[in-house]
Chain A
Amino acid sequence: MLSFNSSNIISKTKTISRRMFLLSSFKAVVLIGIFGRLASLQINDSSKYRSLADKNRFRETKIAPPRGIIEDYFGNQLASNNKIYQLHVVPDSTPNIDELFFRLKNIIDISPRKLKLLKKKISKKKSWDTTIVSDNLSWAEFSRVNLFLHELQGLQPTVSVARFYPDSSSSHAIGYVSEISPHDLRTKAYLQNLNIENVEIGKTGLESALDEQMLGSPGYLRYEVNAYGKKVRQVATDKGLKGKTFRTTLDQSVQKLSSEALQNVSGAICVMDIYNGDIISMVSSPNFNPNSFVHGVSHDEWKGLTENRDKPMLNKALSGLYPPGSTIKTLTALSALENDIVNPKLLVKCEGYVDLHGERFHCWKKKGHGIVGMRTALKKSCDVYFYEVSRRLGIDRLSATAKKFGLGEKVLQNYSEEKIGVVPNTKWKKKELGKNWYIGETLHSGIGQGYFLTTPLQLSLMTAQIANGGFKISPRILVDENEEVGNLQRYLNHKNSTPGNVMSADDQIYNFNLQPLFRNQENINLVKDAMFAATNEVGGTSYRSRHKERKFMFAGKTGSSQIKRFTPEQREAEIKQKDITYLERDHAWFVAFAPVQDPRYAISVLVEHGGSGSSAAAPIAKKIIKRVIERHEIRTAQIYKKSGENT
């Protein structure tokens, strides 16, 4: 029994041990497998898994850096950034969102429609995400919310930064910012890489042109999030790079005055430095409040702006197209002189009209001007004289001169909305209208009617290039701090430093590398002298608007661009402009340069449907010119100052 038992034990033990050895070997293989896997994960692929773990736990939110500032020539802010008061809500930390909104409705002004939209927005987000309830509260509302904050659990009053425009006078030149639209994202390449929520971008004007540089480089907030996406802690922040600040050539003081001067009319004013092309003022009226767009313009306000007869959203200074009217006579005269078509001493008899090929061409003065020479014709703006001159000159020569002086092309490179207008000639008509040119059209063109279309900015450039002695300038609205002093500016500096040393035109051109627009500078001087007469001599068209004080004296040319030709009956009845319906009245023009003996500035004033230039536009120019000349000293003192020094 015992022996059986022990032999049984021995045989069992044998089997068990043998099989256990096999099993242990198998275990060793498994162990090596696990060990190998561990090593492969933790040693070989460690960096791959580490980046996957970081991808799990980090989330980044891009933040927009403060937008670049736009300053005027003196460092005054035309577009700045302001503190704004906002309300944010985190649904997670509020016990009852409906109750919260009900209470909030009694504290701040919030429409039921907006509340409905908000609730929809919140329901789409995660419950710990922040939603903006109100993006621009007044201080009064903000402090009221803070007062009742203990009843408004989950609400976060927040102070943020947004675009702010101190006044509306530069609304067209500067433009406005607003939320990114899907269209912007499609068309503007730089926005596609930006990828920030809640950022306002430039829509028009300089805001649009300089948008990319003013946006700066976005920063980011890096958060650690848990598996459910809830933010656990903030890991890193990068504030990004502040947008670039731009200094413009505009003078806020003149901008404000120009804006005031056009307060009750529709029109535009441009003021330009005739030597360096600085745009000192560029306003369009009526303007709009650019601040309205920053947080989304209301439906009613937008409707009011777009349906307004006077088109407040249009920058008339560079997008408004008008026939130049009699202001073109300066170029008609100049062109005729330059091409030796007429002698300045040519006399023409004005009987109030002239007949050509059976068509009657009227002078604005029914009784006629009698016998007039070029100086008198410009001074009194005699149409019959210029009919005769342009008949002899021909449209193609006039067109060439007009183009030379800046008509028919963009004045500035910064505005996509700028229009180029029309400078007609025989080729143009054939190409655009497919018809031959009629001599009658030359006569109309010679007094700035017909096909001619110009912007107020183009006419101020034209006037500036006449006033500076006939040299080409490149207008600019941005101050380039690194720009070298322009040739014309160097010539001016030389002239100011050596008074009495009169240099011939050829020497000027040779020594300062100037670009003359004339063949004979005498011709330019003749035109300038005639413009002097038009303002400062009895019988001149703008005589009533003249400055008597020497310092402010200016020389100008009036103009009115015809909307609708008078019928013979109206002409017979001597109907006054103010007696016809507003929309049929002529546009009033006035272009001028000042001061007369040593010109520095050129101005163009347009008043839509203002009637005549002498009554509607010239008095406005008179006011502006005075302000511009008053500010001449401090402006020249500013020339070599860099931006920011004055802020």
Chain B
Amino acid sequence: MLHTRLHSPFALKDKFFDLDYTLLFSILMLGVISMFAQYSSSGGQFDYHAKSHTIRFFVFFFLFLAVSFINIRFWNDYSLLIFILLILLLVAVKFFGVQSQGSRRWINLFVFNLQPSELMKVGIILFLSNYYHKISSGDVNKFKYLFYPLMALIIPFMLVLTQPDLGTAILIIISGIVITWLAGVKWRIFAYLSGLLIVLAPVAISLLKPYQKKRILTFLNPDSDPLGAGYQIIQSKIAIGSGGIFGKGFLNGSQAYLNFLPEKHTDFIFTLYSEEFGFVGSAFMIFLYFLITYRIIRIGTITRSIFGKLYCYGFSTAFFAYVAINMSMVLGLLPIVGAPLPILSYGGSSMLAMMFGLGIVMSCNVYKNNAIG
């Protein structure tokens, strides 16, 4: 009977009432801010960047709504398939990928270049949520049941790291680890693994590209090379600091305008925004991100299924991690690793992954009372 009610033709109207509007409007608000930021980063004109960013946001916003209305059970059932598909895409990148600036990250889909590693950020959360949903709580710490999650972490991580794309690889593995930890894997196991990691660290470091090593070194002492790798951190701090409390005003960020700011469309979009809108604007943006994270956690608590809970908690943590890493990076608290700011940064795949991921969160809200077998 419950089943029939949920699938009745009148349900769609009810589902609209079931959307979390705080979350929805927060996302919309961020989208609008991102359009202004992209417009400003293009030097105050509606050029290719600003235009395609706007179009993408609206297209993916509708995708987000569409995903919201698909039953959470569907996402649970297909998460393994999606994960395998993404692994295959990552392998395909190795062979058919488009190369740009020394790294091979994209697949040419003719309409646009897809970056599967960005989608993998959501894919790994989906897969692991589904996995821990299926196994019983007593099995979580058994060796047999640790093998799959470990593989699910290592394979995409290595595939992305070798593209090379350190930033995305780190974000993927953080998302994965968070889910396994939430699912109840014991601290001890994490301790063993990190011990192993420390032993293997020299090997990993030898795998890093020279520019990646340099970035880490530069982070430790940015003034050692002010015109080289440290330049980005220094200029970003100057831009943010010079914004002051109220900012320099829309389209008036001198650091961005005169090209002192690197990567201002993508990784350093927060710097540009912060320079123009100051502490007040930045605090408002941090509040929006906080609000989104909070609403996702809230959906996680009210949703009934373990899959839904794990997914929401995991995604909220990942989402928060993206924001925190990007902001810490541009504020000079972390080395520059190349992590976009969700929704605000220019980049189709990143936007697609975020909106898709948020769509599943919303689906958890709409279908919060559904039990998944």
A contact residues vs B (CB 8 Å cutoff)? 8-9, 11-13, 15-17, 19-20, 23-24, 27, 30-31, 33-35, 37-39, 41-43, 45-46, 48-50, 52-53, 56-57, 224-228, 232
Contact = CB atoms under 8 A, between A and B. Distances in A.
B238 A38 contact: no
A440 B237 CA distance: 89
Given A12-B184, A35-B286, A56 B255 contact: yes
Contacts of A27: 293, 317, 320, 324
Contact of A34 (B239, B313, B328): B328
B137 A232 contact: no
B321 to A, nearest CB: 9
B181 A19 contact: yes
Given A20-B300, A53-B239, A232 B279 contact: no
Contacts of A20: 182, 297, 300, 313
Given A41-B331, A57-B260, 6 more contacts: A42-B244, A42-B274, A42-B278, A46-B242, A50-B242, A226-B260
A38 B137 contact: no
25 contacts: A8-B136, A9-B306, A13-B309, A16-B310, A23-B178, A24-B297, A31-B324, A34-B286, A41-B240, A42-B244, A42-B245, A42-B282, A48-B241, A49-B238, A49-B239, A49-B241, A52-B238, A53-B238, A53-B242, A53-B254, A53-B260, A56-B235, A224-B258, A225-B258, A227-B260
Contacts of B183: 12, 15-16
B293 to A, nearest CB: 7
B243 interface: yes
A289 B26 CA distance: 80
B301 interface: yes
A362 B254 CA distance: 90
Nearest to A37: B331
B313 A42 contact: no
Report, nearest first, the 10 A-B pairs whose CB atoms are least far apart. A49-B241, A53-B242, A227-B259, A42-B279, A226-B258, A15-B184, A46-B244, A50-B242, A41-B241, A49-B242
B313 A52 contact: no
Interface string B254-277: 110111100000000000001000
A57 B238 CA distance: 12
A446 B278 CA distance: 91
B302 to A, nearest CB: 12
Contact of A16 (B136, B283, B306, B333): B306
Nearest to B280: A42
Given A42-B244, A46-B245, A50-B242, A33 B258 contact: no
Contacts of A43: 244-245, 279
Nearest to B309: A16
Nearest to B290: A31
B258 A232 contact: yes
Contacts of A56: 235, 238, 254-255, 258, 260
B353 interface: no
A56 B234 CA distance: 11
B327 interface: yes
Interface of A is mostly: helix
B124 to A, nearest CB: 17
Interface of B: 132, 136-138, 178, 181-184, 235, 237-245, 254-255, 257-260, 274, 278-279, 282-283, 286, 290, 293, 297, 300-301, 306, 309-310, 313, 317, 320, 324, 327-328, 331-333
Contact of A52 (B132, B242, B301, B327): B242
A37 B333 contact: yes
B279 A39 contact: yes
B184 A19 contact: yes
A41 B235 CA distance: 13
A52 B183 CA distance: 48
Residue among A12, A13, A34, A228 having the largest count of chain B Cβ atoms under 10 Å:
A12
A35 B287 CA distance: 10
Contacts of A226: 257-260
A49 B327 CA distance: 18
B258 A57 contact: yes
B333 A34 contact: yes
B137 A15 contact: yes
Contacts of A35: 283, 286
Given A12-B306, A16-B183, A35-B283, A49 B237 contact: yes
Contacts of B309: 13, 16
Nearest to A47: B244
Contacts of B260: 53, 56-57, 226-227
Given A34-B286, A49-B238, A56-B238, A11 B320 contact: no
Contact of B240 (A24, A30, A38): A38
A30 B282 contact: no
Contacts of B283: 35, 38
Nearest to B139: A8
Nearest to A58: B254
A9 B183 CA distance: 11
Residue among B136, B137, B306, B332 having the largest count of chain A Cβ atoms under 10 Å:
B137
Nearest to A48: B241
Contacts of A24: 297
Contacts of B300: 20
A46 B274 CA distance: 12
B80 to A, nearest CB: 19
A52 B243 CA distance: 12
Contacts of A31: 286, 290, 324
Given A12-B137, A20-B300, A52-B242, A38 B258 contact: no
A17 B254 contact: no
Contacts of A38: 240, 274, 279, 282-283, 286, 327, 331
Contacts of B243: 42, 46
A24 B178 CA distance: 12
Contacts of B282: 38, 42
Contacts of A49: 237-242
A43 B244 CA distance: 6
B242 to A, nearest CB: 4
A227 B241 contact: no
A48 B241 CA distance: 8
A228 B324 contact: no
B328 A227 contact: no
B182 A16 contact: yes
A495 to B, nearest CB: 73
Nearest to B301: A17
A57 B235 CA distance: 12
Contacts of A30: 320, 324
A228 B258 CA distance: 9
A568 B237 CA distance: 95
Contacts of B328: 33-34, 37
A34 B254 contact: no
Nearest to A20: B313
A19 B258 contact: no
Contacts of A17: 301
Nearest to A31: B290
Contacts of A37: 328, 331-333
A16 B184 contact: yes
B241 A42 contact: yes
A373 B328 CA distance: 109
Contact of B317 (A23, A50, A225): A23
Nearest to A224: B258
Contacts of B241: 41-42, 45-46, 48-50, 52-53
